[in-house]
Structure 1
């Protein structure tokens, strides 16, 4: 595999990770906080309706978790394509 092919494969896989993680973030923030809020409000967390909780705090927690997932995925991807330091 040439360096150019290696770089293309690296970025293709990187963009796939980004798309998937942004899709998860969108579904949690927009989906759970806005679209599915009425259904989720039938459940409670800590005395608050689940739809409200996702809109106020849950999507932020998921975003922070996604940052750490992205770091882990990128470290593995860097090692796979020998771009690690």
Structure 2
């Protein structure tokens, strides 16, 4: 595998990871916090409505978790393509 094809494959996989993680973040922050808020408000956790929780705190927690997931995925990807030096 040449350096150019290796770099293209690396970035293609990197972009795929980004799109998946950003889609998850969008679904949690926008869909759960805004679009599905009324349906989720029927469920209560700790005395708070679930739609309110996603809009106020849940999206931030998921975003931080996604950062750690992205770091782990990128470390594996770097090792796979030999960029882990």
TM-score (norm 1): 0.98
Tell me which residue corresponds to 2:7. Answer: 7
Tell me which residue corresponds to 1:50. Answer: 50
State yes or no: 1:32 paired with 2:32. yes
CA RMSD of aligned residues (A): 0.4
State how far apart, in whole Å, the 2-side matches of 1:44 and 1:9 are: 45
Measured after TM superposition, the shift of residue 45 of structure 1 is 1.3
TM-score (norm 2): 0.98
Tell me which residue corresponds to 1:73. Answer: 73
Instruction: Point out where structure 2 has 5 or more consecutive residues left out of the alignment.
Output: none
